[in-house]
Amino acid sequence: MMDSPGYDVIHELDPDRVADVRQMRQYDTVFVDCPGSLEGRDILSQIVKASTFVLIPYDHEPESVLPTLRTARRVAELGIPHAVVVTKANPQVGADHVLDAWKTLKDQGIPHFQSFVRLYRAWPNSLKAGVPITRWSERHSPKIREVIAAVHTELLLNIGRVAGAHR
């Protein structure tokens, strides 16, 4: 159980200050959640340039394919290690949706995680209630914590590979 998840949340809207967040409290790791649409704005470049690793969420719906591919290509152009994680995978429809998403990414030469995020009502319910998902308690909470742990583990492995390559 994650009663104390071990992280702070800082709400900062100025992308120029993203690099400052790490120095504020000497954080080892800073996760930045960006708006889903960054078209025509310099925010993505500013945040990516301050990043060690970029994780791009992807729900594999028709309206999300091209923006996700453009974002992944832009991050690659900036030379920052990255990967895509499939989100909103419906557990009721089986694995086909996730497998198709992975094929789409592979065909485009875009790295992706093997873990993925399932679609559960708990995600929006916890957000609406103002309770971090790691502290949320409802029927699917244990499964959600497993999903978070899998993505977190894969993220840490990728960050470790990046750090090892820079030694």
Supply the pLDDT for residue 52: 84
Q: What is the mean pLDDT of each run of 10 residues along the chain (167 residues)?
A: 58 69 68 61 73 89 90 90 92 88 96 92 85 83 87 90 72
Supply the pLDDT for residue 19: 65
Determine the Cα–Cα distance for residues 101 and 114; give it in Å rounded to an integer. 11
Q: Give the residue from 74, 19, 84, 9 showing the smallest Cα distance to 47.
A: 19
Supply the pLDDT for residue 6: 59
Give pTM, 2 decimals: 0.80
Supply the pLDDT for residue 134: 79
Determine the Cα–Cα distance for residues 73 and 52; give it in Å rounded to an integer. 16
Supply the pLDDT for residue 35: 59
Query: Residue 54: CA atoms inside 13 Å, Cβ hemisphere, count?
Result: 26
Supply the pLDDT for residue 99: 95
CATH architecture classification, 15-165: 3-Layer(aba) Sandwich (3.40)
Supply the pLDDT for residue 127: 82
